[in-house]
Amino acid sequence: MSREVIILTMAFIVAATAIAPVLDVVVSPPLNNTDSLMSQTIDLLAKCLHSQAQRCPTPGTEEETHCSGNFTPVGHSCLLIGKGEIVTWAEARSFCQGHESDLVVFKDANHYAATLDLIRQTYGANEKINLWIGGSDEAQEGRWVWHTGELMQRGQPFWGSICGIGVENRERCAEPSGGRGENCAGLFHRDNHYVHDFACDINISIGANFNPICEKTAIPKCY
Ligand SMILES: [Ca+2]
């Protein structure tokens, strides 16, 4: 091996050793001979190239995200519908938290629409089920916030426009319309799962069956 090659190899070692901590590459102990030096250099360069080649895309599509457990990728997040879990709003949050998640928060209209698609896939078109989401005005009447502390967007395309449970003639209401008696947000099946306000512990005896929709952050799928 020529002197120039040895010098070049040593330069590779110095450079690769300097960047190894950044790339989380383990560097072997000092080397004893020239052949071993060359072998270690090639191995080290291969590891560096592999590290640089691995990319984790920004979550945004179902193909690019991975969800643990029984959660389903929906846009930028993972959702789990607690089908069969008839619960109050507080019980719905507890159910989600037991699955390392919380009630769903709609960050935009696309996320809301994708969630509606999942509801239809889960229940079919004719299931008369309502679903709890993560909004409330319990702390301050009329100030609707998500459990994250963010303000809920009001009006279209989220909130409904027909009156809620107990009003049978489908008269029109601008939701939320329940005042101090209704402080928890849910998706009302009779209004195509638009957002409505409901009593947080609404009685299931009047046909108000509520399941939870849980959400947690998607894991970027790296390649
Ligand atoms: Ca209220």
How far is the centre of ligand 1, averaged over its atoms, from the C-alpha of 118 (Å)? 27
Helix (H) or strand (E) holding 146: strand 145-146
**DSSP string over 52-120:** HH---PPS-SGGGEE--TT-EEETTEEEEE-TT----HHHHHHHHHTTT-EE----SHHHHHHHHHHHH
Ligand 1 centroid from CA 84, angstroms: 27
The CATH code for residues 62-220 is: 3.10.100.10
Give the start-to-end residue ranges of the domains of the chain. 3-53, 62-220
Rounded to the nearest angstrom, the gap between the alpha carbon of residue 198 and the centroid of all alpha carbons in its chain is 24
Q: What is the pLDDT of residue 59?
A: 53
pLDDT tens for the chain, 223 residues long, are: 455 544 555 555 555 555 544 444 444 445 456 666 666 666 655 654 555 455 665 555 545 568 988 999 998 799 999 999 999 999 999 999 999 999 999 999 999 999 999 999 999 877 889 999 999 999 999 999 999 999 999 999 999 988 766 655 566 778 998 899 999 999 999 889 999 999 999 866 666 799 999 999 887 766 5
Q: Which of 71, 76, 66 is nearest to 220 (CA)?
A: 66
Q: How far is the CA of 133 from the centre of ligand 1 (A)?
A: 15
